[in-house]
Homo-oligomer: A and B are copies of this chain.
Amino acid sequence: MSDGPPSEQPGPLPIERADVDAAARRLAGVAHRTPVLRSTHLDELAGAEVHIKAECFQRTGSFKFRGAYNALASLDEAERRRGVVTVSSGNHAAAVALAARLFGVPATVVMPSDAPGNKRAATEGYGARVVTYDRYREDREARGRQVAAELGAVLIAPYDQAEVMAGQGTLALELFEEVPELDVLVVCVGRGGLMAGCATVARSVAEARGRAVEVVGVEPEASDDHRRSLAAGRRVGLDAVPRSIADGQLATIPGALTFAVNQRRVDRFVTVADDEIVATMRTLFERVKVVAEPSGASALAAVLAGTVARPGSRIGVTLSGGNIDVERFRSLTGG
């Protein structure tokens, strides 16, 4: 295990509630206001009220559209004309591609060569150019900066950027608007961008109503860098690139900006095993009738594993995305 930079100091954080509110205004009428799903069966399994924010129905099939569009919308005209570049394993790629198309600017996406085929196809389908790198041998951030420099384009970070985190936070804003009395908010965590936005909203809601919200992050077992980092009080990196079916959550170290936020605003991180994720994808299919990709099912998997629930509590859960093709679903559920 290698260490990251020293712990962030207390002080101003990269985003506050006002940034999320501003993002919500930019996203109004552009992003979908996704439904909050309920299921008697899930409530019985969890022993609690489960409210699922179904971002599988978001444009491009995941929450990533929120942050990508907010980042594009925050650029000025001259910046946008230069075009945008980003680095992503998939969902952020498609999100930037669509956001760029909506603004009429060219987008280039640096993707790992083993990214799921459906995610690459979606990204190209939205008109972006795809450049690949080797997830296990090359540094993704360096590759992104290199491509951006070559093209003279603006880099849209997949998580470590204030506008991206603030955009993702609009998910929690909508969820609390619909269910103001949530006791617990459970969020899937990769590099921590969604969590940073959502935790910021949860803290602000808790303060306004004078009653706490427990904020819980969920990581795959093999990729528990946030859990370790929170325990250590500083960003801690994993020695090896984790392998998990949750391809949207394969982080080796928390983002610098996301961790600055999450260290102060998240109560705890828990982990789920791949087989718990698959079981949850099945439950979502059969009982809720929705499609979740592995990363999309991980937060609910933690709830159903009993890691999170307090009996009778009201739990908000992210279902972060639904981008999985039938072949991969068949393969994962075939064991």
Interface residues, chain A, CB within 8 Å of chain B?
35, 37, 56-57, 61, 118, 282, 285-286, 289-291, 322, 324-326, 329-330, 333-334
Contact = CB atoms under 8 A, between A and B. Distances in A.
Copies of this chain, tallied across the complex: 2
B333 A61 contact: no
24 contacts: A35-B35, A37-B57, A56-B289, A57-B289, A61-B289, A118-B286, A282-B326, A285-B291, A285-B326, A285-B329, A286-B291, A286-B324, A286-B325, A286-B326, A289-B290, A289-B291, A289-B322, A290-B290, A290-B291, A291-B291, A326-B333, A330-B330, A330-B333, A330-B334
Nearest to A61: B289
Contacts of A35: 35
Given A285-B326, A289-B290, 15 more contacts: A35-B35, A37-B57, A56-B289, A57-B289, A61-B289, A118-B286, A285-B291, A285-B329, A286-B324, A286-B325, A289-B291, A289-B322, A291-B291, A326-B333, A330-B330
A221 B329 CA distance: 29
Contacts of A324: 286
A299 B250 CA distance: 40
Top 10 A-B pairs, shortest CB-CB distance: A289-B322, A56-B289, A289-B291, A330-B330, A282-B326, A326-B333, A286-B325, A285-B291, A285-B326, A289-B290
A200 B282 CA distance: 38
Contacts of A333: 326, 330
Contacts of A118: 286
Nearest to A333: B326
Contacts of A322: 289
A333 B330 CA distance: 8
Contacts of A326: 282, 285-286, 333
Contacts of A56: 289
Nearest to A322: B289
A34 to B, nearest CB: 10
Contacts of A334: 330
A282 B327 CA distance: 10
A35 B324 CA distance: 22
A119 to B, nearest CB: 12
A46 to B, nearest CB: 17
Nearest to A55: B289
Contacts of A325: 286
Contacts of A290: 289-291
A250 B330 CA distance: 27
Nearest to A40: B59
Nearest to A286: B325
A4 to B, nearest CB: 36
Nearest to A291: B289
A56 B35 CA distance: 14
Nearest to A329: B285
